Chain A
């Protein structure tokens, strides 16, 4: 699925069946990010499909 990581402005194509698995693959700390699936905020155990559009937001403020 398409993944956009906002903080680093990276677009990636990563297959994953759940949010938790996706974060693991991307080596992202789940307590430090919000995951937005098709525009909606979702939890870690949310299932993912290949057609989903994922945005990952950092919870840390910048400065």
Chain B
């Protein structure tokens, strides 16, 4: 895989190895790894309509680009980008602008669903009353992505989750004894087949965050770093910092977390199949485990009180 340019002009050293690759060899390596994940785990098959959850960030833009590339060599795969507009000035407005440009250029249809239209208020207004909005924001985002996927007729929804995200989720669930949630991880999710819940796929599952950042940078997908102004030092943030620290001291840690998790995942799924029943929310019909879903509960208890 190593060429003359790799030796003279290396752009990145692959994680857990001393192989350094030039830009074009790195593209090949990266794309091969993503396509292999798609094939090995049957993430995308003939005749599917794949939705891609996009934020304008490095991960989802790379996924969108690569799924399009994957589908070009095959017939019968439709792609649509789906974005959520939380209503965060100075952050999401700019990232959605670059997403729109990207979709125009790549000729991919884009749908945007906003908190304001769907729930009555944008996130900037919610924050004024609830200064730590990440939990509401996460529930609303997942809700709109699932509902939007159904309305648009997606067979699956692809997300930009990378190996770092997965390793963090695995450790968080471990630390908090939340195996029910872990059973829903993996390159393709959905424990119980339920037509109300659109399966999620993660084509970047085996690529580290640094590799994705390098890919997006080299492809010119990202022009400026931006950070949500409402982000708080979350539990995830702590686990992330801890894993970065550990990875620097013990290279391979994150890969090993994910690989060992994949070994036990079938057992976890099996175990949860018996317990996991999915109801429909009595107010909106979306899948949930109680009578009323989390999004409807937040609308009643938070949004309507603003």
Give the B-binding residues of A (Cβ under 8 A).
Answer: 6-7, 29-32, 34, 36, 40-46, 57-63
Question: CA of A34 to CA of B59 in the docked complex: distance in angstroms?
Answer: 15
A/B interface sample: 5 pairs, CB < 8 A? A31-B251, A32-B210, A41-B11, A41-B12, A57-B225
- In the bound complex, how far is the Cα of B9 from the Cα of A57, in angstroms? 19
- Contact A57 B217, beta carbon cutoff 8 Å: yes
* List of B residues within 8 angstroms of A63 by Cβ: 91, 227-228, 230-231
Contact check, B247 vs A62: say whether CB atoms are below 8 A apart. no
Distance (Å) between the CB of A54 and the closest chain B CB? 14
Residues of chain A contacted by B209 (CB below 8 angstroms): 59-61
- Is A31 in contact with B247, judged by CB distance below 8 angstroms? yes
The reply to whether B240 and A62 contact each other, CB–CB distance below 8 Å, is: no
Complexed CA–CA distance, A37 and B119 (Å) = 46
Name the A residues within 8 Å of B277 (CB-CB): none
Closest 9 CB pairs of A and B: A63-B228, A62-B227, A59-B213, A41-B11, A59-B210, A63-B231, A43-B13, A43-B10, A6-B225
Closest Cβ neighbor of B18 among chain A residues: A45
Binding site for A on B (CB under 8 A): 9-13, 15, 20, 23, 57-59, 91, 208-210, 212-214, 217-218, 225-228, 230-231, 240, 244-245, 247-248, 251
B248 touches A30 (CB 8 A): yes
Q: List 17 other contacts, CB 8 Å, given A31-B15, A42-B11.
A: A29-B245, A31-B248, A32-B210, A36-B217, A40-B11, A41-B214, A42-B10, A44-B13, A46-B10, A57-B213, A57-B217, A59-B214, A61-B58, A62-B91, A62-B227, A62-B228, A63-B91
Chain A: CB-nearest residue to B231: A63
List B contacts of A61 (CB < 8 A).
57-59, 209
CB-defined contacts of A41 to chain B, threshold 8 Å: 11-12, 23, 214, 217-218
Interchain CA distance A50-B140 in the complex, whole Å: 49
Q: Report the bound CA distance from A62 to B58 in whole Å.
A: 10
Give the residue name and chain of the B residue nearest to A30 (CB).
B248
Bound form: Cα–Cα A58–B228 in Å: 14
Tell whether, in the assembled complex, residue A34 and residue B213 are in contact, meaning their CB atoms are under 8 Å apart. yes
Residue in B214, B227, B231, B240 whose CB lies within 8 Å of A34: B214
CB pair B217–A34 under 8 Å, yes or no, is yes
Q: Note all chain B residues with C-beta closer than 8 A to A43.
A: 10-13, 20
Asked if B225 and A58 make an inter-chain contact with CB atoms under 8 angstroms apart, the answer reads yes
Task: Tell me the minimal C-beta distance from B13 to chain A in angstroms.
Answer: 5
